[in-house]
């Protein structure tokens, strides 16, 4: 439904402005007499244009593909609350109004809080349907459940723009109820970058419309995420790195990108974990579907099966299972530099000791960023979030479906821990023409880990979607 309309728009915009000589129509059964034609008055350029358009037209009609004009976009990210989450910006409606949204490869719906949101929406910009001339209310209920909460509202359709791309009839949830703690000002909602198969709305995700229509130069998206967890004087919102659509930015990685095919038909971005070492020692974990890991930008930490997590901490002398609100986590001596490395079939990728060390809970003990995940309901056994993804350049490829990782470049690494202004909302190379509502003041960063840990713990028993904020 979405893709055909999008293709039409793409086709119109690519051929609107050239005078195209077209062959005379021939109706069925009519014979054409061969005749010598008078020399054409068309210039060589006219014929060239005609020939190119004819080729594109016929190739599209018969399902082939032809190289299209290069089409790539970037969105600068914001790192919220010392690596708790990473958000970007998009715009909805006519005229476009910009919103900050969590970029989440672990789910597949787009939603934003709307003006009627009374629960969980304080101090954020909200979507006002009455101020968009292209808004369409689909009048169907929308409800998405994540590990850390739920968003409820109704389905709508409007123009959505991001990083210079536009989908004229994107379905999204206009949400009026959000679980407490799911949104932290200034974030208004979430953009799911997983596959349609896991969309609560059943609609084609924004990215998938663009990837499948051949709009992008390369059918992929990528992330470079910054690290502030061990930096000093961290503000609530810091520069978060880069999200690209349609290309990989070769300034941000070195060497080659190692792609691994998805473990199942596309749903989550699911890879099979092939090996893991802690302090250089192999960790034993269940294989088969129990080793499937969702590669998830919307999850802060790394969750895995209890037995595997136990085996990880067994390699760290002095570690102990957490108690009380830290149940499911482990503590370990802060003085230990924990080196975890993970492989999904290709190279082994290291997680820095800084990312492993989530927070300090006593004079000597710290909490580790790998926790016990009780999965169920078809949720993946492992969820590999930002704790891991900050250490690599990550690529999410539509076709053939795969996730790729590469080493970060010096340029990318140099952005870690460098405090600065968070990027302002954009919908392309220019700032959005309008911004909704007020963004209010910054959250209290001193209490960030307790809030954060609380939502994760509440989520442990019932992980359904991919996001753990």
Ligand X SMILES: *[C@@H]1O[C@H](CO)[C@@H](O)[C@H](O)[C@H]1NC(C)=O
What is the binding site for ligand X (CB under 6 A)?
Answer: 74, 114, 116, 129, 137, 139, 154, 156, 174, 230-231, 242, 249, 251-252, 275, 282, 352-354, 411, 417
Residue 104 annotated as catalytic: yes
Please state the closest distance from residue 200 (CB atom) to ligand X, in A. 17
> Whose Cβ is closer to ligand X: residue 156's or residue 379's?
156
Closest CA to 184 of 237, 261, 129, 259: 237
Please state the closest distance from residue 252 (CB atom) to ligand X, in A. 5
- Helix or strand run (H / E) with residue 212: helix 206-212
> Whose Cβ is closer to ligand X: residue 219's or residue 466's?
219
191-206: b or e for each residue (b if 16 or more CB lie within 10 Å)? bbbbbbebbbbebbbb
Q: Which tokens belong to 253?
A: 């990685």
> Whose Cβ is closer to ligand X: residue 20's or residue 418's?
418
> Whose Cβ is closer to ligand X: residue 2's or residue 82's?
82
> Whose Cβ is closer to ligand X: residue 268's or residue 370's?
370
Other residues' Cβ atoms within 10 Å of the Cβ of residue 85: 27
Please state the closest distance from residue 93 (CB atom) to ligand X, in A. 11
**Phi, psi values for residue 121, rounded to 5°:** -120, 20
Whether the CB-CB separation of 111 and 174 falls below 8 Å is answered with yes
Active-site entry in 100, 176, 296, 355: 296
Please state the closest distance from residue 28 (CB atom) to ligand X, in A. 47
Please state the closest distance from residue 352 (CB atom) to ligand X, in A. 3
CA 247: distance to chain centroid?
A: 14
Burial class (CB in 10 A: 0-12, 13-18, 19+), 143: middle
**Phi, psi values for residue 50, rounded to 5°:** -60, -45
Residue 296 annotated as catalytic: yes
Helix (H, G, I), strand (E, B) or coil at 7: helix
Helix ranges (DSSP H) in 16-169:
44-61
Closest CA to 250 of 410, 400, 422: 410
Please state the closest distance from residue 73 (CB atom) to ligand X, in A. 8
Please state the closest distance from residue 249 (CB atom) to ligand X, in A. 4
> Whose Cβ is closer to ligand X: residue 56's or residue 115's?
115
Instruction: List all residues 6 or more positions away from 321 whose beta carbon is below 8 Å from its beta carbon.
Output: 313, 327, 329, 330
Active-site entry in 104, 109, 218, 258: 104
Sign for the pseudo-dihedral over CA of 335, 413, 220, 93: positive
> Whose Cβ is closer to ligand X: residue 106's or residue 239's?
239
Task: List C-alpha distances in Å: 354 to 126, 379, 388.
Answer: 36, 28, 11
- Which residues are identified as catalytic? 104, 296
């Amino acid at each position: 439904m979405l893709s055909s309309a999008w293709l039409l728009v793409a086709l119109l915009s690519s051929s609107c402005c050239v005078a195209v000589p077209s062959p005379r129509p021939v109706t069925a059964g009519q014979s054409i007499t061969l005749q010598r034609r008078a020399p054409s008055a068309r210039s060589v350029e006219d014929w060239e244009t005609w020939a190119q358009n004819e080729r594109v037209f016929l190739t599209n009609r018969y399902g082939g593909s032809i190289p299209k004009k290069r089409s790539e976009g970037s969105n600068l990210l914001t790192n919220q609350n010392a690596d708790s989450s990473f958000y970007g910006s998009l715009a909805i409606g006519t005229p476009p109004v910009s919103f900050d949204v969590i970029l989440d490869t672990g789910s597949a719906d787009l939603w934003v809080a709307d003006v009627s949101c009374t629960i969980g929406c304080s101090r954020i910009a909200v979507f006002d349907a009455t101020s968009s001339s292209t808004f369409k209310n689909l009048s169907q209920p929308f409800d998405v459940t994540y590990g850390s909460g739920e968003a409820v509202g109704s389905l709508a359709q409007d123009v959505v723009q991001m990083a210079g791309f536009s989908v004229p009839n994107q379905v999204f949830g206009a949400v009026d109820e959000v679980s407490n703690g799911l949104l932290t000002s200034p974030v208004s909602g979430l953009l799911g970058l997983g596959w349609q198969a896991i969309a609560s709305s059943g609609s084609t995700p924004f990215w998938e419309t663009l990837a499948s229509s051949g709009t992008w130069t390369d059918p992929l998206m990528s992330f470079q995420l910054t690290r502030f967890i061990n930096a000093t004087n961290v503000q609530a919102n810091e520069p978060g790195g880069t999200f690209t659509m349609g290309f990989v930015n070769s300034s941000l990685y070195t060497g080659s990108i190692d792609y691994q095919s998805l473990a199942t038909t596309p749903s989550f971005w699911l890879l099979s974990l092939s090996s893991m070492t802690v302090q250089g020692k192999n960790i034993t974990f269940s294989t088969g579907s129990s080793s499937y890991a969702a590669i998830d930008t919307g999850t802060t930490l790394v969750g895995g099966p209890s037995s595997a997590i136990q085996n990880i901490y067994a390699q760290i002398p002095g570690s102990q299972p957490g108690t009380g609100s830290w149940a499911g986590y482990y503590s370990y001596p802060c003085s230990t530099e924990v080196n975890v490395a993970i492989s999904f079939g290709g190279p082994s990728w290291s997680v820095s000791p800084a990312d492993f060390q989530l927070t300090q809970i006593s004079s000597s003990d710290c909490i580790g960023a790998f926790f016990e995940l009780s999965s169920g309901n078809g949720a993946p056994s492992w969820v590999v979030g930002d704790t891991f993804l900050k250490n690599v350049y990550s690529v999410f490829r539509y076709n053939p479906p795969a996730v790729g990782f590469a080493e970060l470049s010096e340029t990318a690494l140099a952005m870690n821990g460098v405090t600065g202004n968070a990027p302002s909302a954009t919908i392309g190379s220019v700032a959005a023409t309008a911004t909704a509502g007020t963004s209010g003041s910054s959250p209290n960063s001193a209490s960030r880990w307790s809030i954060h840990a609380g939502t994760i713990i509440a989520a442990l028993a019932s992980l359904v979607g991919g996001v753990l904020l």
